[in-house]
Amino acid sequence: MSARPALEVADVIRAHGEEFLQRYGATLSATQRQALRDLARCRTAALGGHVERCADCGHERIAYNSCRNRHCPKCQATARAVWLQREAAYLLPVDYYHVVFTLPPAVAELALANPRELYGLLFRAAADTVAAVAADPKHLGAQVGLLAVLHTWGQNLHHHPHLHCVATGGGLSCNRRGVVDQQPRWLSCRPGFFLPVRVLGRVFRGKFLAGLRQAFDRQRLRFGGRLAGLARPAAFAAWLRPLHQTDWVVYAKPPFGGPAQVLKYLARYTHRVALSNHRLVRLHDGRVTFRYKDYADDARDKLLTLDAVEFLRRFVQHVVPRGFVKIRHYGLLANRSRQAKLTVCRQLLQAVTLAALLTAGAADGDSNRLVAPAARPHCPACGAERFERRPLPRTGAGGPAAPVAGSDTS
């Protein structure tokens, strides 16, 4: 178990949240305000908790409740473990590919003003692109399985919306419209090659811009600040025109080593937040320093120092709208028909479910199981596992992590 970081995002919120809200509060959504409040209170007396007393040696430990906000750096481990255990049952013994779809900076700025509409469009355009190109018999002629995860940040916390996708290296034979054959065959991608990225990029660009145009025509976009001029149809059409001429970035990495490597990858990406507490270095004199990788400089590790209010502004812009689904399944993995299609895939591949392999590995005491079980809690003083618990009430607004000024406490 890693040591608790000396500095947390919550510390920055508690120290500078009021100043941040005075400057930017009018621009925040209710969900962003809620995230600030939750993170500031997480694992403090403000949320209540319990006293845990060892039944053997009497050692006592206070444990405060978690906020469980999906943007909290401290609250993702349990959700990730449960999700991974379920996801393991969906994996097939085939190659998997990592494909990344990225929005151009101009579109990213519009997405920041319209997150629910454009992040949803990003998912649809990317999934439809993979489905269309994979269904083309010139490339594969099959329906593949796709898992897509939304990230909205770069290493320096700037807004950088992109989708990390994990795709099966093959699928069930289908027609050009993507409808699986009545008696399908399993068709594999060429070894080491998923689909042509230049084709993916062009199709992705066309599908996203068509969806963007449709959203504008239906008056589903908001324009404010520097974007206000785009509300006029002629201005919006002129803004769209160069986007049709530029290359859109689609990046495909070499295949994973196997299902175990896929799960390890998913563990890193699926429940990640914009910045982990372990990357924070110091908070001093109103300035926050954190570590980041500079991919423009051979991925070197560097330090970046920001004014605390600017740090919070960058962090909060990655709070997605309430109820927005950040992890989605498509194709063979689509919820509606997943079980039936995966059953056919395994029959064609003459494979057993990965879940069965996990069970067998656990029975054999295999130390290389894909999803390790959570360790049983034990007393730090004597190692015993028997505890007595006494609840602690919430301290309310007077506690050490009272809601930041101006936040929505309803």
Segments making up each domain of the chain, as ranges: 9-72+378-398, 90-274+320-352
Give the span between the Cα atoms of 153 and 317, in whole angstroms.
Answer: 9
What is residue 375's predicted lDDT score, i.e. its pLDDT? 66
- Angle of helix 9-24 relative to helix 308-316, nearest 10 degrees? 90
- pLDDT under 70 in the chain at which residues? 1-3, 351-375, 396-410
270 φ, ψ (degrees, to nearest 5):
-70, -40
How many CB atoms are closer than 10 A to CB 120?
18
Q: What is the pLDDT of residue 270?
A: 84
Those residues whose C-beta lies under 8 Å from the C-beta of residue 222, and which sit 6 or more positions away, are 113, 114
The full length of the chain comes to 410
What CATH number was assigned to the domain covering residues 90-274+320-352?
Answer: 3.40.1310
Residue 11: both structure tokens together: 């510390």
Q: Which tens digits make up the pLDDT trace of 181-224?
A: 999 999 999 988 999 999 999 999 999 999 999 999 999 999 98
Helices H / strands E in the chain, number of each: 11, 12
> How remote is the C-alpha of 243 from its chain's centroid?
26
Report the pLDDT value the prediction gives residue 365, as an integer from 0 to 100. 45
In angstroms, the CA 345 to CA 92 distance is 8
